[in-house]
Amino acid sequence: MAKPRKKRSSTLTSPSMQILRDKDSMRAWSRAQKALGRTVGFVPTMGSLHAGHLALVKEAKKRADVVVTSIYVNPTQFGPNEDFTEYPRMLDADAKKLTGVGCHALFAPRDLYARSGPPHETWVDVTDLTQTLCGSARPGHFRGVTTIVTKLFLIVEPDVAIFGDKDYQQRRVIQRMTRDLDIPVEVVGMPIQRDTDGLALSSRNARLLPDDRLMALAIPRAIAWAQDAFAKGERRVKVLKKAVREQIEASGPRVDYIEIVSDATLLPAKGKLTKPAVLAVAAYAGDVRLIDNVELR
């Protein structure tokens, strides 16, 4: 687990949105909504909200009567050498953005792991879908994600939860987890939202230096090239992967992985593509790790 960082004080208030700072008040709020016959939509985030997150909130509003967004930078999904400390935190600005799109409640817990008494020792593990892509590149990452999302689901008790498909593997893993554990929530994926220059929206983009941002554009360009090549009939996995790698590396980003996986199993596809697949990329522009993907079907 990455080290918790020092808390900053915040004067968090909103005239029209409930702001809940602890799990008991969050659960009570959700239950009160349900007692009034309302369905609860949920958008879990780690904050530093951008238009992609706000699109998730808008989608949740279409699917449920009231919407909760959570902001919690979860230490257990970051490895010891990852960017937990640098992860952007801007709670007041985020609250304003959520108020602007009519989110009904913000759950911004100060902490979600036991601070006193025996240490946290219970984990949720989705075993197979996490063997590849970010699961193998970031050991322990998905165990942290599935554990915190389970905790959030148990606190918020949503009817529907919306996840962005930039984190395609995450959405699939959470859908499998809710099915396997009979957690009564519908998990919905939303298409990747892109900036006008094509870069997939991500909270980490805020950390890109101008030159690194320019070089990062090689990632969506290479992905768009692969999608086009696939549409024109290219089915050879090796050819697609090699060309995507060359295009990205030629512009500067350091590739963490480029993989084409079966959509059904998320295991690497081999030979020629005959079934729906996903091309997924993780690469560093400067010291910022970015991910992106496209379905090949």
Among 167, 212, 259, 292, binds ligand PAF (CB under 6 A): 167
Q: How far is the CB of 182 from ligand PAF (least distance, A)?
A: 20
- Asked if residue 45 binds ligand PAF (CB under 6 A), the reply is yes
- Tell me if 223 contacts ligand PAF by CB under 6 A: no
Using DSSP's 3-state secondary structure scheme, residue 142 falls into helix
Choices 28-36, 40-48, 242-250, 253-261; region in contact with ligand PAF by CB under 6 A? 40-48
Cβ closer to ligand PAF: 126 or 244?
A: 126
- Using CB under 6 A as the binding rule, whether residue 183 contacts ligand PAF is answered as no
199 binding ligand PAF? (CB under 6 A): no
Residue at token pair 């996490």: 130
Q: Does the protein bind ligand PAF through residue 74 (CB under 6 A)?
A: yes
Answer yes or no: 120 catalytic.
no
Note whether 291 and 167 are within 8 A (CB): yes
Partner residues linked to 285 by β-bridges: 288
Query: How far lies 205's CA from each of 35, 66, 70, 85, in Å?
Result: 40, 29, 20, 16
Question: Which lies closer to ligand PAF via its Cβ, residue 49 or residue 240?
Answer: 49
| Cβ-based burial of 198 (10 A; exposed 0-12, middle 13-18, buried ≥19) | middle
Element (H, E) at 22: none
- Residue 202's CB: how many other CB atoms inside 10 A? 24
Residue-wise DSSP of 95-128 = HHHHHHTT-SEEE--S--S--SSSPP-------S
| Shortest Å distance, C-beta 174 to ligand PAF | 7
DSSP structure class, residue 19: E
Residue 77 interacts with ligand PAF (CB under 6 A)? yes
Q: Is residue 7 classed exposed, middle or buried when 0-12, 13-18 and 19+ CB atoms within 10 A define those classes?
A: exposed
Query: Of these residues, 50, 53, 104, 141, which one is catalytic?
Result: 53
Site string for ligand PAF, 132-161 (x = CB under 6 A): -------------x--xx------------
Size, binding site for ligand PAF by CB under 6 A: 10
CB of 172 to ligand PAF, least distance (A): 13
Give the nearer residue to ligand PAF in terms of CB position, either 77 or 205. 77
Decide: helix, strand or coil at residue 187: strand
C-beta closer to ligand PAF: residue 95 or 145 = 145
Q: Is 130 in the site for ligand PAF (CB under 6 A)?
A: no
Site residues (vs ligand PAF, CB under 6 A):
44-46, 74, 77, 145, 148-149, 167, 170
Residues annotated as part of the active site:
53
